Amino acid sequence: MISSDVIRGYNDTMILYMLLEGESYGYEISKNIRRLSQEKYVMKETTLYSAFTRLEKNGCISSFHKDGEAGKRRTYYRITEEGRAYYREKCIEWQLTQEVVNTFIKE
Amino acid sequence: MDVLKAYLDSLFAAWPRSDQVLALKREMLDTMEDKYEELKRDGKSEHEAIGIVISEFGSIDELMDELGIVPSAASGNIPVLTEETVQGYETVVRRSSRLQALGWLLVLFGVAAMVLIAAWNENGVLGGISENTGYLLAVIAAFVLGVPAIGLFIASGSGKEKYRVLGEDFELSAGTRANVERRKETFRPVRVRSIVTAACLGTVSPAAVLVAAVRGESQTPYGAAVMLALLGIVIFLFVYSGGIEAGYQKLLQLGEYTPEKKEENRVIGRIAAVVWPLALIVFLVSGFGYERWDVNWLVFPVTAVLFGAIGGVYGMRHKPKQKA
């Protein structure tokens, strides 16, 4: 299990990644993050919804209501242009962070 | 899933119920239910599924920090009242409302007795005593009932000093608030019955004077005495139920007890302390001095209307100031 302190700065990046290919809703996003991380990272509910709130406030995502499968009405999220730009920035930032930190990692 | 809903309810209890918070809560419940259903489909037992969902919930503080919301109780230096303080205050309010209401009842009964004895005296019912002794008896009756009333008014104030904090800023925890709201709700039927009874009696009371006046001019004071006694019961009901209701409103900081209203009430309270005794004096002087029991009771409804108008004008003039 990964310490949430370390990963905190990249929760938003993961959510944006999940939305790059199309709109999605809370549970689907959280489930896919778990699956892609091979069960190594589970995003807490409150972390997920804090991120939604923050990203929506910053204009990186927008939300809307839609009837999902089985007729259940859900809040869906979709990435905006700002969101894509922010995602690219975060990717570059991570490359750099990784390079720097890697310098100090032995084994 | 009731368990998950109850879990979320308890976590959100301490937070303000804004639209944003409620929408978020609803959405989180959906997500938790989705997760629960899927765990069940994967063969987990109900208990295991709930355990996993709850363990993956996270920290509500994180969410509220993000929303920039402070808890409804616990925002720094504003004192939070304990359940004991609140219940203690409610007991004191009940007691003091009862004493005040009894005090008013005695005052009005005292005046009614005075009017009654004076009328007997004038109509020669009292028998062999002089007219002056008769009037003296009337005044004594008023005192015998009125003096204990003063004692009751003084006693009604005791015990309240401890709760001065309620006049200033304070908060209740979500749980305490819910308890107070429940008790206020339990009291509601009593209050409604009191108001309806009081309003009926108050409306009917002038009829006593009219009926008496029809039976002859000498009978009019009897009608006035009956009306005063009825008004005594009216005031008793209003003061008693109104005092308790005001106690609840004060605790919940509703209606008259929002910070802006507190100032307005102080001013109107001062006006009331002058206007109503004045109305009573006008009533008694015009009754005893000029024998106009047939019309002088009108001073009370007229005062009530004027007083309402004063309150309304004051409220209107001071609203823009509050907004600025």
**Domains of chain B by residue range:** 2-67, 80-253, 258-324
Q: Does the pLDDT value for residue B320 go beyond 60?
A: no
Please give the average per-residue pLDDT across A9-28, as a whole number: 92
B223 alpha carbon, distance to own chain's centre: 31
Q: Is B67 on the interface with A (CB under 8 A)?
A: yes
List the single residue in A with minimal CA-CA distance to B20. A53
DSSP state of A105: -
Over range B303-317, report the average pLDDT.
Answer: 75
Q: Mean pLDDT, to the nearest integer, of A84-94?
A: 95
Non-local CB neighbours of B80 within 8 Å, separated by 6+ positions:
B73, B74, B170, B171, B172, B173
Inter-residue contact B16 to B72 (CB < 8 Å)? yes
* Interface contact A44-B58, CB threshold 8 A: yes
ipTM, 2 decimals? 0.88
Domains plus CATH for chain A? Answer: 4-103 (1.10.10.10)
Find chain A residues with C-beta within 8 A of B32's C-beta. Answer: 45
On the question of pLDDT at A84 being above 90, the answer is yes
Residue A90 phi, psi (nearest 5): -65, -35
- Chain A residues in contact with B57 (beta carbon < 8 A): 44-46
Kindly give, in sequence order, each residue whose CB lies less than 8 Å from that of residue B126, ignoring residues fewer than 6 positions away: B117, B120, B134, B137
Q: Which of B234, B233, B208 is nearest to B223 (CA)?
A: B208
Contact A72 B32 (CB under 8 A): no
> Considering only CB atoms, which chain B residues are within 8 Å of A50?
62-63, 65-66
Q: Angle, nearest 10°, between helix axes B259-284 and B299-323? A: 160
Q: How confident is the model at residue A94 (pLDDT cuts 50, 70, 90)?
A: very high
* A75: nearest CB among B27, B57, B63: B27
Q: What chain B residue is nearest to A57 in terms of C-alpha separation? A: B67
> Taking all residues of chain B, what is their mean pLDDT, rounded to a whole number?
82
Residues of B in contact with A30 (CB under 8 A): 31, 35
